[in-house]
Amino acid sequence: MKPSLLIILILVLSWSVSGQLNDPLVLGNPSNAASDLSQSNNYLVTHNGYELSYNKERGAANWVAWHLQKSDIGKAERTDAFAPDTTLPTDWWIKPSDYTGSGYDRGHMIPSKDRSSSEDINRVTFLMSNMQPQAPKLNEKTWKYLEDYTRELVSKGNEAYVYAGCYGNKGRIKDKVTIPSNCFKIIVVLPEGDDDLKRISVLTRVIAVDMPNDESVSIRWRTYLTTVDEIESKTGFDFLSNVSNSIQAYLESKKDSESAETGGNDRQTGDKGAPSVNTDSNGRKYYLGAKGGCYYLTASGKKSYVDKKYCSDEEAPPEPPKKIEPEPPTITESGDRKYIRGPKGGCYYINGSGKKIYVDKSLCN
């Protein structure tokens, strides 16, 4: 075989392999970002696993886009490898330390956990071009709960295309990074399958949220459901631009009713649980019901309602409820009398009128 033929063969093979990966921008490039250094505020960056439009002026992305499927979620630990995005020109870099002392978290757009199939791919989510200054409560609660919910949908037979970004200006950190007033997210949910763009229809589920970037944010992401149209008018971007005009217009004009009406139930998979709003130190998850009740799911899958404080907006995770599992009473017989050891260790017998008469504990031994 001639070397040139070999090269062509390799090119064809590598093209067909990469063709199997999902292009995060299959539904459209919302700002026509391009890898052209002269457009520094709308500069397309392609990373392994996601793409983004970088805005040099803001020191952060306009939007980050990725595709999520079950195989993206694995057992790799968070690498915490915060680092400048060295694919950008040096004078555009934001360093991890630039956020230090600002009071804002380095909030991921594509979440670390969405790329947990290997350590190498996880590391890429820690590039600073994927970060936004997020209020701690937004990053650690509301935004995270929606991330969890998206992975829950994907773990149950769906795949998703996600756009996330922030907009608005509440000031600057070290005159390098703009503090956004809001962060938005658009999630297009499809049952697992091929030819994704062609499968988008008026029945496709689209979840769009627009959240305030401050500590007054509610932990309930559903409070911030909105339409893609609203986000487009706030940001000036055009999402889902590869979807046909009539379907695009329909999908962009409606709020996700599955989230709003049923508390996030997924009818396709029969999932009863809304995303958990709290996890206690035993790992038990608490869910907020559509009517405001708070429950956890028992081993048999039943809802067990608890005090609402377990679903509250508190910063601190709740203490797990005390287990009330009384030990079965031990009965010691002595003559005609039965001595019973109570759950707290006391020893008693029941007299003729049905009263407990406590006696020396030794009688229960």
Positions marked active-site: 108
DSSP H helical ranges for the chain: 3-18, 119-124, 136-137, 143-155, 196-199, 228-235, 245-253, 257-262
Q: Give the shortest CB-293-to-Mn ion separation in angstroms.
A: 28
Identify the residue among 108, 115, 123, 185 touching Mn ion (CB under 5 A).
Answer: 108
Nearer to Mn ion, 190 or 206 (CB): 206
239 is a site residue for Mn ion (CB under 5 A)? yes
Q: What are phi and psi of 6, to 5 degrees?
A: -60, -45
Q: Give the shortest CB-244-to-Mn ion separation in angstroms.
A: 11
Nearer to Mn ion, 79 or 296 (CB): 79
229 is a site residue for Mn ion (CB under 5 A)? no
Single out the residue of 190, 185, 161 nearest to residue 108, CA to CA: 185
How far apart are alpha carbons 290 and 261 in whole angstroms? 8
Size of the site for Mn ion (CB under 5 A): 6
- Residue 266 per-residue DSSP state: B
Q: Which of residues 130-159 bind Mn ion (CB under 5 A)?
A: 139
58 is a site residue for Mn ion (CB under 5 A)? no
Q: What are phi and psi of 343, to 5 degrees?
A: -60, -25
How far apart are alpha carbons 113 and 193 in whole angstroms? 22
107 is a site residue for Mn ion (CB under 5 A)? yes
251 is a site residue for Mn ion (CB under 5 A)? no
240 is a site residue for Mn ion (CB under 5 A)? yes
Q: Give the shortest CB-358-to-Mn ion separation in angstroms.
A: 56
Nearer to Mn ion, 88 or 146 (CB): 146
Query: Three-state SS string across 286-314, please?
Result: EEECCCCCEEEECCCCCEEEECHHHHCCC
List interacting residues with Mn ion (CB under 5 A): 107-108, 139, 238-240
